[in-house]
Amino acid sequence: MPTTAELMVSNLSVQFGGLKAVNEVSFSLQPQTLAGLIGPNGAGKTTIFNALTGLCPVSGGEISFGDQRLTNQPPHTIARCGVARTFQNIRLFKNLTVLDNLRIAYHKNRQYSLLCSLFRSPRYWREEEQITARAKEALELVGLATKAEHLAGSLPYGEQRRVEIARALMLSPKLLLLDEPAAGMNPQETLTLLELIRRLRNELKITILLIEHDMKLVMNLCERLFVLDYGHLIATGDPKAIQSNRRVVEAYLGGTGA
Amino acid sequence: MVKPRLTGLIKIILLLCIYGVVRLLESRGLLLPYHVQVLSLCCINVILVVSLNLINGFTGQFSIGHAGFLAIGAYLSAFLTVKMHVPFLAAILCGGLLAGLAGLAVGLPALRLRGDYLAIATLGFGEIIRVIILNMEAVGGAKGFSGIPKYTTFGIAYLTAIITVVVIRNFVHSDYGRACLAVREDEIAAESLGVNSTYFKVLAFALGAFFAGTAGALFSHYLQYMAPTPSQIGFVKSIDILIMLVLGGLGSLTGSVIAAVVLTIIPELLRGFAEYRMIIYPILLIVVMLYLPAGLMAGRELSLDSLARLCKGVKSSAHYS
Amino acid sequence: MTLLEVEGLTVHYGVIQALKGISFRVEQGEIFTILGSNGAGKTTTLKALSGLVPKSGGRVFFEGRDITTAPSHTLPALGLVHVPEGRRIFAGLTVADNLLLGAYHRRDKAGIKEDLESVYELFPRLAERRKQDAGSLSGGEQQMLAMGRGLLSRPRLLLLDEPSMGLAPVLVEEIFRFIQEINRRGTTILLVEQNAHLALEIAHKACVLETGRVALSGAAREVAADGRIQEIYLGAG
Amino acid sequence: AQGDVIKIGLISSLTGAVSTYGQSVRNAVTMAVDDINAAGGINGRQINLVILDDKGDGTEAAQAARRLIDRENVALILGPVITPCVMAVAPIAQAAKVPMLTPTGTGDEITSIGDYIFRGAYKDSFQGRIMAQFAAVNLGLTEAAIIYDVANDYSVGLRNAFKATFEELGGKIVAEESYSTGDTDFSAQLTALAMRNPQALFIPDYYSTAGPILMQARLMGMDAIMLGVDGWDSPDLSALAGGFEEGGYIVNHYSADVDSPVTQEFIARYTAAYGQAPDALAALGYDGALIVAKALEAAGSTEPEALKQALGTVKGIDGVTGTINMDPEGTPIKSAVILQSTGGKWELVDQVDPSGR
Amino acid sequence: MSWHIAALQQLVNGLALGSVYALIALGYTMVYGIIKLINFAHGEIYMLGAYFGFYALTLLNLSLLPAMLLSMAAAALVGVLLERVAYRPLRNSPRISVLITAIGASLLFQSTAQLVFGASFKPFPQAMPFRRIQLGPVFITNRQLLIFGVAVLLMILLHVLVTYTKFGKAMRAVARDKEAALLMGINVDRIISATFALGSALAATAGILVGMYYNRIDPYMGMMPGLKAFVAAVLGGIGMVPGAVLGGLLMGVAENLVVTLGSSTLRDAVAFAVLIVVLLFRPTGLLGKKGIEKV
Ligand SMILES: Nc1ncnc2c1ncn2[C@@H]1O[C@H](COP(=O)(O)OP(=O)(O)OP(=O)(O)O)[C@@H](O)[C@H]1O
Ligand SMILES: Nc1ncnc2c1ncn2[C@@H]1O[C@H](COP(=O)(O)OP(=O)(O)OP(=O)(O)O)[C@@H](O)[C@H]1O
Ligand SMILES: [Mg+2]
Ligand SMILES: [Mg+2]
């Protein structure tokens, strides 16, 4: 289903003790945009993701998604609003199979009741079949259909990243947040990933916001960039504009940037 | 793979056969009341271990106060049958329900506490229950609760154990169970996938406690006497259950069943060795743990499929040799 | 002079064979880089060298001495120091304590002090934060700390596993500058990198791993010029 | 094989936290059985003793009982030692109609479980009443305090009986504190008790706990008269109490001053055999075996009904703990003595006729 | 005695009892700190320490200090062996498996001790004269003072050891990341052994002092205090040296206060309830740091 909801972040602040990791950041994201969030290490990028997904308390400002207010909602509620994410340090359920990792993520769409599950009503069987089918579809999409029965933790790093993306897709999200999806991948793999992300946006019509240090990927993929430094949003714009922004070059890109 | 319907049928037949064989041997005098008694205890322990597995093994909470739930079920049901003349089945249900409620209450600290801190809180909870019972004159206090009718037969214990295992298996293999697994594996990831970890922790505690309560009800009407001692309803019992759970393998239901049965029978076999019994038993425990650190079943399940495969394997290897 | 010699190294994880007999040599004073895609066995190679995973076959010589079965904790004293993947700094200890733990095996107080100062000189940012909890450092700072900690062992051979992973472009440049600087000061370096571009730029020699085997090796410049490498690792396809 | 031996089961706590009591009983019973067998057995038949451990746990004791009854086909069960085990075993023995005699179980309700259940010790109510009477009447006390183990049925039972009788006789329990089995620090309770300055302190528990309580109380400066029970009877009491049992009174079955050669000989032989002097539980264990032997002899068979009959009627057994006459109700009629510790020895101060109960 | 003097006296008693818990909890916390293992056998090493001391005092006729040193050495040896045989092989296994071997070891020590030393309660030799010290309206015994003093002294020593010495830093490094510690040239096995030796020696010290204090030892004496000390360590924040002492003292005072307030029968229940409530407000104990989990 195409997304029409718009992400609005206004004056978002996150504080850890004395440290203001995110400082009065405001931005908005039009539906079906493919946007990037970049900035030096420790700039607060992941923290913004955490605030968006309810994993860390917001100390000021507002986050809304469509007509839903996400500020300081518990993570599972936010997930139910259609916001899915991946993690910088992969957080797969390592001891479970790839398939189970995905099936878990169908949770919010599950219809049958506790009693149905305890006594295995026909409805249970029907829906379980459906869930498995959905999971296989998602795996197909990221090109891992053959790995369904593998333990998630046993896969190579790059594949784990893709499983994590597939798992996020099981939520049928409207907004997908990807935290450094290309980290630890070689250029070839990065390229495949780039194609995948682009396809996801085009086929599923979802909004994607990603954090990435690989400038090649960011510049090729994103339509819009937000640059963060020391918790402040220092620049917004399309890749071209950002690349030539002197502040961004100084703080982040350096001499060879891109 | 064998078809689910078919395996279901095979399993039911197998379970009935086991019951039939026990009954037959009993009537032929090959199984003495003593043996049947031990088997009943095995069933009660199966319920306890499997229900703890739901909390510790599948949901990843660290509870060492399971005997507290057993105590609630045991005493409440005994009180109901002895003092209120409530029918046994209703008493079992009431015991389970009150224990389940207590499980809800214990589930709450589980929301804030992790790992060893939770363990201590559950241990504390178990001891609080025990001390309260110790001070309750209505159920005999330190004297213990005697005169409980012997309602628990092997049949009832066996049936309850089967129901427990089946229900918990069904739970675990549903979306609910997967949500619990997710909470166990990585709470943050689970939350971000829309799993309300609070709800599932409390649910696991409540459900686990419910079954422990029913086991308690069976237990008091099996022993006909309850005493508020650590080894019967206190931390010693909780640890016994935990040992069975870990030895069977966290997260494996068949492992729990096997370990509960084996560890109920072993002390029985060793009983004649007097003081040496308590030296042999811990050595066995340590050795098994050293060689099978993830437990007998190591998170796997023994299923008809795997058995069939095993048989085939044996057959085919026999064929080639 | 050959500093490190690896002969037919194999490693198993259970039944999976992660390294299928790899051999290479690292000469004194050079930067040697190992490239390869995910799961090729780069990390495993370094771990096997420093004894973190048991070797199932092959031999390893360091300065002519057979260290195939030497326990991990004896290697820093010999001069073989491993800065692991993912930094692995000790959170909860201060920056200074982390650095000093690098010198754990050393007894020469004066020498340690001297090296400490030179690390602070190399990474002034660590000097600013010497009393800070290492866990609170940013990714780049943690990487510097990990390298600084390695340097305090006075390595003759420094094994670096993906030092640029997850770092912002400016920091990546900086880290690579540091690697060259360390090398210039006389430390031989065995570098595992995903960022093949930069790695090949600063390395003298290189080898490419593919699913546990050496697929290609030679002078860095030659390796960089190889067509296949161009395609896979430099994204020139 | 039934003809030439008589099989008797003993259930005792050989392991676990109360094993010290269980082992005393086991040692004494083994000694008694050996004695009987050496003297030609019972009506020419040797006794075969099957010993099973119950770890001090009711579930285990029940299991052991079933095994003795079903698999070993014992004629009779001796034991168990502690009340929670006794209570778990009694319904089984009763249902199977296998006579059972616990040498040490004191809980009042034990013998009311059925007509096959017997004991060799005092009832808690009997002993508690004797001590209360002695305190109120002989010592003329009007105020007393109690410290007892809430988790131990023996202690609770004695406390209840003492309290009831003492109050009946016009005395007042000015303070009461409790602790749990396994506790070692009683300073809090004792401080609270000391605040009330009681004339006497009743400590109904075994020597192992009474000893430390006595010491801690005295060191705290408490000068109340210390009142005890048969559980205090152990050569180790004095060392555990740091000698502070001096001046205290206990109820006991027998007195080393007045008693028979049987007692003296038992103490000597037990000490020689096990390297430690017997405590009250050993004495009771020995007598339990004697009662059983006498009953078997009187019944002339191992037939349950006859045996039960005999157990309820055997009289004049010359035991270590005095002369024992069994009662069909299941509790022996035994005389009690009141002893006082003077100069490190327990001396007889009063003798209570069993009819005094 | 008036009510408030009694309360004050209870406070002193509570501190003394708390010192006992603290003394045992220190060893618990050391071992936990390094390998995150609830060493269930710690209470039994405390028991063995008491017995070693007992035999050193009676059979070998040593005086207190040498007996103590001997017992500490013997307990350290037992601790090191225990780690070697039952814990080290499981270092990479699930934590709960090690917990089970620890429980197994605890049962084994209990029953072996019962077999070797006898099941009976043994009066502990009184190697120190008894004295009562009046502090205004309340009093304290010299033994209470000794236990309190030793607990506080050991806490300070251990704290210094862990925070400032090279050994302490190595310990903390091993606790954080064993693999990385190896790469620093730290002999992880040896550091862990040394920690067990230290923790066990601490347990032995506690065993002797407490044995002397209560004048009674038996093979099961480690069970309850072991459990309580563990609770105390958790209350204070397990793994933290000062936390063990704080937790111990607090437990002791709380227990005694409950008695003063007139419900000795519910003492243990109230103590546990207090613990749970404290944990609800401070989920990692009083001094425990909240583990920052960076997502
Ligand atoms: N849970 C936390 N507690 C305390 N400080 C935190 C926490 N999470 C993040 N921080 C701090 O907030 C700042 C921003 O961190 P964040 O992880 O958002 O950076 P980032 O932009 O994602 O960097 P990187 O590119 O290295 O991932 C850092 O200084 C970090 O140390
Ligand atoms: N602990 C382990 N258990 C089982 N297999 C492992 C383990 N560690 C690594 N492997 C497997 O060994 C192979 C080599 O892994 P290694 O970590 O050495 O790769 P790498 O080249 O460092 O990859 P990356 O670029 O992702 O760091 C992979 O297939 C991996 O899945
Ligand atoms: Mg980040
Ligand atoms: Mg790697």
Does B257 contact A at CB distance below 8 Å? Answer: no
- Considering CB atoms only, which of E119, E126, E224 is closest to D19? E119
A residues 137-166 lying closer than 8 A (beta carbon) to C: 156-159
Ligand 1: does its nearest atom lie under 6 Å from the Cβ of C91?
no
A42 contact residues in C (CB cutoff 8 A):
138-141
For residues A187 and A224, membership in a common domain is answered with: yes
Domain range for A122 is 94-170
B55 has a pLDDT exceeding 80: yes
How far is the centre of ligand 2, averaged over its atoms, from the C-alpha of A157 (Å)? Answer: 8
Query: pLDDT tens, B211-236?
Result: 999 999 999 999 999 999 999 999 99
Retrieve residue B174's tokens.
Answer: 């549903």
CATH of the domain at A203: 3.40.50.300
For residues A24 and A64, membership in a common domain is answered with: yes
CB pairs under 8 A between D and E: 104
Report cis status (omega within 30 of 0) of the bond before D80: yes
Query: pLDDT tens, A42-55?
Result: 889 999 999 999 99
3 state SS of E61:
coil
A225 bridge partner residues: A36, A237
Cross-chain residue pair B143–D156, CB shorter than 8 Å: yes
Beta-carbon contacts of residue B191 (< 8 Å; ≥ 6 apart): A54, A55, A74, A75, A76, A79, B197
Tell me which of B188, B223, B247 is where a domain ends: B247
3 state SS of C217:
strand
For residues A74 and A127, membership in a common domain is answered with: no
Biggest distance spanned by C-alpha atoms of chain E: 63
E230 contact residues in B (CB cutoff 8 A):
120
- Ranges under pLDDT 70 in chain C: 232-237
β-pair type (A34-38, B145-146): unpaired
- Residue E125 phi, psi (nearest 5): -60, 135
Q: How far is CA E103 from CA B30, B56, B248, D190, E22, in A?
A: 37, 17, 16, 34, 21
B274 is a domain residue: no
Between these two residues, A130 and A250, which has the higher pLDDT value?
A130
pLDDT of residue A258: 41
Q: Which other chains touch chain A, taking contact as 3+ CB pairs less than 8 Å apart?
A: B, C, E
A80 contact residues in B (CB cutoff 8 A):
194
For residues A124 and A146, membership in a common domain is answered with: yes
Asked whether the beta carbons of D77 and D61 are under 8 A apart, the reply is: no
Reported as a pLDDT band with limits 50, 70 and 90, residue D63 is very high
pLDDT of residue D204: 96
- Report CA dihedral (E56, E61, E63, E64) to the nearest 10 degrees: 30
pLDDT of residue B174: 94
B188 contact residues in A (CB cutoff 8 A):
55, 75, 91
pLDDT of residue B301: 82
Domain count, chain A: 2
Cα separation, B144 vs B134, in Å, equals 8
Cα separation, B266 vs D60, in Å, equals 12
pLDDT of residue C194: 83
Reported as a pLDDT band with limits 50, 70 and 90, residue A199 is very high
pLDDT of residue A256: 52
Pocket test for ligand 2, best of A150, A157, A160 (most atoms within 8 A of CB): A157
Does B167 contact A at CB distance below 8 Å? Answer: yes
Q: Average pLDDT of D145-150?
A: 94
Asked whether the beta carbons of C89 and C142 are under 8 A apart, the reply is: yes
pLDDT of residue D1: 39
For residues B233 and B161, membership in a common domain is answered with: yes
Cross-chain residue pair E13–D239, CB shorter than 8 Å: no
Range E3-281 classified under CATH 3.40.50:
no
For residues B46 and B26, membership in a common domain is answered with: no
D349 bridge partner residues: none
Mutation target for E interface from C78, C81, C88, C147: give the one with most E CBs within 10 A.
C88
Reported as a pLDDT band with limits 50, 70 and 90, residue B272 is confident
Domain range for B6 is 1-31
B106 has a pLDDT exceeding 90: no
Does B229 contact D at CB distance below 8 Å? Answer: yes
Cross-chain residue pair B224–D91, CB shorter than 8 Å: yes
| Distance from the E182 Cα atom to the nearest Cα atom in chain C, whole angstroms | 5
Atom 1 (ligand 2) nearest CA = C13
DSSP letter string, D284-324: HHHHHHHHHHHHHHHH-S--HHHHHHHHTT---EEETTEEE
Least confident of C120-129, D249-258, E141-150: D249-258
- Residue C167 phi, psi (nearest 5): -100, 150
Short-list B209, B168, B184, CA closest to B67:
B209
pLDDT of residue C237: 42
- Find the residue in E nearest to A42 (Cα): E294
For residues B27 and B49, membership in a common domain is answered with: no
Tell me which of B222, B247, B272 is where a domain ends: B247
For residues B14 and B90, membership in a common domain is answered with: no
Helix (H) or strand (E) holding E253: helix E241-260
- Find the residue in C nearest to E180 (Cα): C88
Q: What is the residue extent of each domain of chain C?
A: 2-236
Cross-chain residue pair A257–C170, CB shorter than 8 Å: yes
For residues B128 and B90, membership in a common domain is answered with: yes
Short-list B294, D185, B283, CA closest to E93:
B294
Cα separation, C68 vs C3, in Å, equals 14
E260 contact residues in D (CB cutoff 8 A):
188, 191-192
Atom 12 (ligand 1) nearest CA = A21
For residues B90 and B212, membership in a common domain is answered with: yes
Q: Average pLDDT of A75-82?
A: 94
Calculate the CA B320 to chain-centre distance: 42
E294 has a pLDDT exceeding 70: no
- Find the residue in B nearest to E285 (Cα): B117
Q: What is the residue extent of each domain of chain E?
A: 3-281
Helix (H) or strand (E) holding D199: none
For residues A68 and A34, membership in a common domain is answered with: yes
The whole-chain average pLDDT of chain B stands at: 90
Q: How far is CA E167 from CA A26, E28, E164, E186, E188, in A?
A: 49, 18, 8, 10, 11
- Residue A205 phi, psi (nearest 5): 55, 50
Mutation target for A interface from C164, C170, C198: give the one with most A CBs within 10 A.
C170
Q: Which CATH class is domain C2-236?
A: alpha beta
Calculate the CA A185 to chain-centre distance: 17
Reported as a pLDDT band with limits 50, 70 and 90, residue B318 is very low
B32 has a pLDDT exceeding 50: yes
pTM of the model: 0.93
E260 has a pLDDT exceeding 80: no
Helix (H) or strand (E) holding B190: helix B187-192
pLDDT of residue C170: 85
How far is the centre of ligand 2, averaged over its atoms, from the C-alpha of E62 (Å)? Answer: 59
What size, in residues, is chain D? 357
Cα separation, E16 vs E249, in Å, equals 8
For residues B72 and B209, membership in a common domain is answered with: yes
Mutation target for D interface from E3, E122, E215: give the one with most D CBs within 10 A.
E215
Cross-chain residue pair E255–D150, CB shorter than 8 Å: no
Q: Average pLDDT of E197-209?
A: 94
Q: Does the interface ipTM go beyond 0.85?
A: yes
How far is the centre of ligand 3, averaged over its atoms, from the C-alpha of C143 (Å)? Answer: 14
Domain count, chain B: 2
